[in-house]
Structures are given as C-alpha cells and as structure tokens.
A and B are shown apart, each in its own frame.
Chain A
C-alpha cells in the first residue's frame, strides 16, 4: 500500500525560510513522479510541480517557477518543498501526491505565515 507521510504544521513569519517534507513508502519511490499541490484557504487545488526522484528532474507549473524549490532525497524516500522567503500569501494547505497509477496523496501540511 502506497503511503505518503508529511511533516507537521508550521507557523512562520514573513521573510522566514521553510522546508516541508513527504516520505513515501510501499512503492518504488525512485521511479515514480511525485509532486506538490497547494490549496489556499477556501480555494481550489493547484499543481505546483513534480520531481522524478531517480534523477531529480523537476518540472514546475508556471505560477510556481522561481517561487519554491522541489527536491528529493532518494536515499530516504523523501521529497521536499522549500521556500527561501515566505509571504503571507503562502498560507495554505500543501499536499504531496503521486499522480500516476491509482494516485496517492499525503495527509497535508498546513503552513501559516503571519506576523
């Protein structure tokens, strides 16, 4: 059974950096694309980007290019989503997801950015 377990909720101030994680198990982590989805409060789902852990090829949706960094550590089957300088508008729920096969999602990580 595919399991994606995400790191816990975060409360940060504007301008701070942040890296959240998602650990996969129960499937071949290195040979399946895995990505991140954003859901802002009261809004819909948005694909941020995806990474192929085997060679770290990464593809960003245009709205998120340059705004975040997606990376993976295949030695520990973990994918990351990173911000260098958070803004209040980054407040959202973030999900990791394997979009192929029978798609699987993590439980979500709530990121709150507030001064």
Chain B
C-alpha cells in the first residue's frame, strides 16, 4: 500500500486537459512543498516533470503544471498529445523519508 493515493487510471482525448490527483496527509503533502511528479514510458526510466509542487525543469513542456491544496497535490496536462500516454507518479517528502504514489496510467484516447 502506497503512502500517497493516486487514481489507477485517467484518460482523455487529444487536445483536452486532464488532472491527476495525489492525496497524502498532513505528515507529507499537507506540510511540505516538496512534491514532484514523474512520467514513465514503458521500458524507460522515470522523467521528472514537476518538482517543489509547481516548478518545471528546463525542457519540460509548459503543458504540464502542478499545484497543491491541503493534503492533495495535482498534476494537470493541457492540450493532451499522444506522446503523453504513460504512467505518472507523484512523490512527497514525509518528514524523515520520501514516499511515492501508486502511479496513474494515462490513456490518450
């Protein structure tokens, strides 16, 4: 059982926007602005998409954005493209260690 809760799957059509939630507690997401998001295509290493809740690394499309409200962080992908189809994982500092969400499979219809 993962420390952070993500939906198992989400889907959207090209051009649409989708949001993936990541629900933790006051011991992790709710207290620390140290939430990151990773994209993983099959057979590939995870790729950092968002860090510190809402910061985008250089080279990551501005279609990807992150936010947080209370104990829930969110990743929003706008203007969905076929290449966005992948697994997405959230990660948060939890006071003495780090924790991942269980992952969300994004399907682009």
Cα distance A61–B57 when bound, in Å?
Answer: 27
B64 at the interface (CB under 8 A from A): no
B93, B97, B102: which contacts A44 (Cβ < 8 A)?
Answer: B102
Q: Flag if B89 contacts A44 (CB, 8 Å).
A: yes
> Given A35-B98, A99-B93, A45 and B48 touching (CB < 8 A)?
no
> Given A44-B89, A103-B36, A49 and B46 touching (CB < 8 A)?
no
Closest-CB distance, B104 to chain A (whole angstroms): 10
- Residues of B in contact (CB 8 Å), total 22
A47, A100, A101, A107: which contacts B99 (Cβ < 8 A)?
Answer: A47
8 Å CB contacts to A: which residues of B12-50? 34, 36, 38, 45-46, 48
Closest-CB distance, A8 to chain B (whole angstroms): 15
Q: Flag if B2 contacts A44 (CB, 8 Å).
A: yes
A95 at the interface (CB under 8 A from B): yes
B34, B51, B89, B97: which contacts A45 (Cβ < 8 A)?
Answer: B89
Q: Flag if A102 contacts B55 (CB, 8 Å).
A: yes
Q: Is the interface of B mostly helix, strand, loop or mixed?
A: strand
- Residues of A in contact (CB 8 Å), total 21
Q: Which residue of B lies closest to A95 (CB)?
A: B45
Task: Provide the B71-109 mask, 1 if CB < 8 A to any CB of A, else 0.
Answer: 000000000000000010101010011111111000000
Q: Flag if A44 contacts B45 (CB, 8 Å).
A: no
Q: Flag if B55 contacts A108 (CB, 8 Å).
A: no
Q: Flag if B46 contacts A45 (CB, 8 Å).
A: yes
Closest-CB distance, B31 to chain A (whole angstroms): 16
Cα distance A95–B91 when bound, in Å?
Answer: 14
Most buried by A among B45, B48, B87, B98: B98
B interface with A by C-beta (< 8 Å): 2, 34, 36, 38, 45-46, 48, 51, 55, 57, 87, 89, 91, 93, 96-103
